[in-house]
Amino acid sequence: MEKIAIIGGGIAGASIARVLSKYENLEIHLIEREPDVSWGVTKANTGIIHPGHEEDPEKHSLRADFCVEGNELWHRWTEELDIPVEWPGELMIARREGELKTLEKYLELGKENGVPGLRIIDEEELRTLEPNVNSEAQSALYGPTAGRMEPWEAVIGLVENSVENGLITHLNTEVRDIGIKQEEIRGVQTGRGFIEADIIVNAAGLYADEVSKMAGIDHFDLQPRKGEYYLFDEDARPRVKRILHPVPTSKTKGVYATKTVGGNLMLGPTAEDLPMEAKGDNSTTEEGLNFVWKEAKNLVEELPKKEKVSKTFAGLRPEPPEGRYVIEAHEDPWGFVSVGGIRSPGLTAAPAIANYVVEELIEGELGVKLAENKDWNPKRKGIKRFSEVTMEERRKLIAQDPNYGNVVCMCKEVTRAEILEAIERAKKVGVSKPTLDSVKFRTLAMFGFCQGSFCRLKTAKILSEELDIPIWKVTIRGEGTKYGMGDVKILRSKKREKDEQSNEKK
């Protein structure tokens, strides 16, 4: 039995894990340094499933092929894994005469890539499809196959399904070195011990270049590229119906105006290249957010008031040399597979990348014989959301389990029953001590208007009870982020401020 270790619990690693879980003669390990899956690059992106007409097959053949194939696969995968998704279509907006000609260029690229349904639409049809489009918009390239989903929900679904099919997870486990003997892979040295492996798939996101260097492979470096975003309250108006973006530049697809599957208007991202040592910098800036606002105004006629912004955030993505994905199997050391630089359209391309890695690299180039598991189960059901069911269904749920009658998060109508289920699901995929973020990303509690101001304490109490730990040991996202300590600091700060004001009066 071949042992395969996947480094990285993001969208690429999780997709590869799922495809590998189809085979019965493999022992598959997923190694992630964060306490839970999807907390790296995957967590903070635009969540768009691109059609594939923006990838030049001459410059980026892998990106072009994987984007179109990945889009098609996501239609099946989201259904099999019960991942919330929408397919509203995408509009590349042209406001100037020169941009109209550029639309024709992308139309031809789309035809070459095999993108279905792609066409240029006139101003009248554009305003029918998107009433809130900028008044200067003259035309658009319409890609009807574009979709949107929450990327972390995709990863959670993939990992849950893979674990049911035999995947072994190692969370909160940092890779320290790669074990090599006689120019062949032997395993992974981690902060929690040595994990034996015949093959290593390096899907470590921003840190894939650093992991590769541990194996003696140093022909690529990954540039951290920051993207900043606005996220509005659900009731913020006006919104958009479709996914809107400008004509791309050589560097980026540009700022988007879209909605989350939960209905929140979202604007962004920027594309700021950071120094190599800034791979942990996910701060927002006044300059970046101002740029997003300005660019978004070129897409839509009217934006909601800034008072309706629920949060701003930033994500980092790994920019590879010349924008090319680094996907290859190595002979020295034998058994090391690189899956690096998975920048946009990485979310879209992930299922196709997974098939390629398994079929062309592991089975093809490395010669591993794969035996299909006839009992492999492609299905997974997500957590039933109380907010999305009818009143009759709600009554039945409460009759079956009274915890459904206890609404913990008022903004998102998340019940105690859903939170309890989220905790159990997190444990099943290897989260030793589920955190507030473990619950947040599985239920959407703390994602609403108040951003957890009212429900975070209630959720922390539930975690405290279920994990049998004091509430001050409940963490936001693992070691060093204790929720209770955060509250103590706030209270001390307020007391200090009050004392200073009192002294000033004296």
| Residue 494 maps to a domain | no
Whole-number Cα distances in Å, 56 to 48, 64, 246 = 19, 6, 17
Instruction: Give the end of a domain, one of 315, 339, 372.
Output: 315
Phi and psi, residue 350, nearest 5°:
-50, -45
Do 68 and 167 belong together in one domain?
yes
Residues 6+ apart with CB under 8 A from 305: 236
Answer whether residue 289 shows pLDDT above 90.
yes
Looking at every residue in the chain, the average pLDDT score rounds to 94
Q: Binning pLDDT at 50, 70 and 90, where does residue 73 land?
A: very high
| Residue 248 maps to a domain | yes
Measured from the Cβ of residue 421, the count of other Cβ atoms closer than 10 Å reads: 18
Is 50 annotated in the active site? yes
Mean per-residue pLDDT for 23-30? 98
Mean per-residue pLDDT for 240-261? 92
pLDDT at residue 60 in the model:
87
Give the type of residue at 378. Answer: P
pLDDT at residue 315 in the model:
96
Evaluate the CA torsion angle 163, 168, 171, 174 in order and state its sign.
negative
| Residue 495 maps to a domain | no
Question: How far is 300 from 245, CA to CA, in rounded Å?
Answer: 10
| pLDDT > 90: percent of the chain | 91
Do 134 and 253 belong together in one domain?
yes
| Residue 351 maps to a domain | yes
Do 243 and 135 belong together in one domain?
yes
Answer whether residue 379 shows pLDDT above 50.
yes
Answer whether residue 493 shows pLDDT above 60.
no
Of the candidates 449, 422, 420, 424, the one whose C-alpha atom is nearest the C-alpha of residue 437 is 422
pLDDT at residue 369 in the model:
96
Q: Binning pLDDT at 50, 70 and 90, where does residue 253 land?
A: confident
pLDDT at residue 92 in the model:
98
Question: Residue 467: left (phi > 0), alpha (psi -120 to 50), or beta?
Answer: alpha
Q: For 183-200, how does the pLDDT look when each residue is reduced to its tens digit (9 = 90+)?
A: 999 999 999 999 999 999
Of the candidates 249, 246, 67, 50, the one whose C-alpha atom is nearest the C-alpha of residue 141 is 246
Mean per-residue pLDDT for 66-74? 98
Looking up residue 121, the CATH number of its domain turns out to be 3.30.9.10
| Residue 503 maps to a domain | no
Decide: residue 41, CB within 10 A, 0-12 exposed, 13-18 middle, 19+ buried: buried
Do 120 and 99 belong together in one domain?
yes
Mean per-residue pLDDT for 74-85? 98
Q: Binning pLDDT at 50, 70 and 90, where does residue 484 land?
A: low
Mean per-residue pLDDT for 231-247? 96
Q: Binning pLDDT at 50, 70 and 90, where does residue 373 land?
A: very high
Do 394 and 290 belong together in one domain?
no
Q: Which of 369-373, 414-418, 494-498 has the lowest mean pLDDT?
A: 494-498
From 29, 50, 53, 330, active-site residue: 50
Mean per-residue pLDDT for 298-303? 97
Q: For 454-467, how does the pLDDT look when each residue is reduced to its tens digit (9 = 90+)?
A: 999 999 999 999 99
pLDDT at residue 487 in the model:
43
Do 233 and 114 belong together in one domain?
yes
Instruction: Give the end of a domain, one of 382, 408, 435.
Output: 382
Tokens of residue 316, six digits: 């980092």
**Can you give the residue range of the structural domain that contains 286?**
90-144+223-315
Do 245 and 106 belong together in one domain?
yes
Question: How far is 65 from 277, CA to CA, in rounded Å?
Answer: 32
Q: Which of 58-67, 306-315, 492-501 has the lowest mean pLDDT?
A: 492-501
The separation between the first and the last C-alpha atoms of the chain, rounded to the nearest angstrom, is 77
Do 183 and 301 belong together in one domain?
no
| Residue 500 maps to a domain | no
Q: Binning pLDDT at 50, 70 and 90, where does residue 488 land?
A: very low
* Overall number of domains in the chain: 3
Answer whether residue 502 shows pLDDT above 60.
no
Do 310 and 410 belong together in one domain?
no
Answer whether residue 247 shows pLDDT above 90.
yes
pLDDT at residue 435 in the model:
97
Between residues 502 and 352, which one has the greater pLDDT? 352
| Residue 114 maps to a domain | yes
Do 72 and 157 belong together in one domain?
yes
Residue 203 CA, chain-centre distance (Å), reads: 14
Residues 6+ apart with CB under 8 A from 505: none
Do 212 and 182 belong together in one domain?
yes
Do 329 and 411 belong together in one domain?
no
Instruction: Give the end of a domain, one of 330, 358, 382.
Output: 382
Answer whether residue 438 shows pLDDT above 80.
yes
Answer whether residue 501 shows pLDDT above 70.
no
Cis peptide before 345 (omega within 30 of 0): yes
Of the candidates 442, 480, 498, the one whose C-alpha atom is nearest the C-alpha of residue 172 is 480
Reported as half-sphere exposure (CB side, CA atoms, 13 A), residue 72 has a value of 13
| Residue 107 maps to a domain | yes
Q: Binning pLDDT at 50, 70 and 90, where does residue 117 land?
A: very high
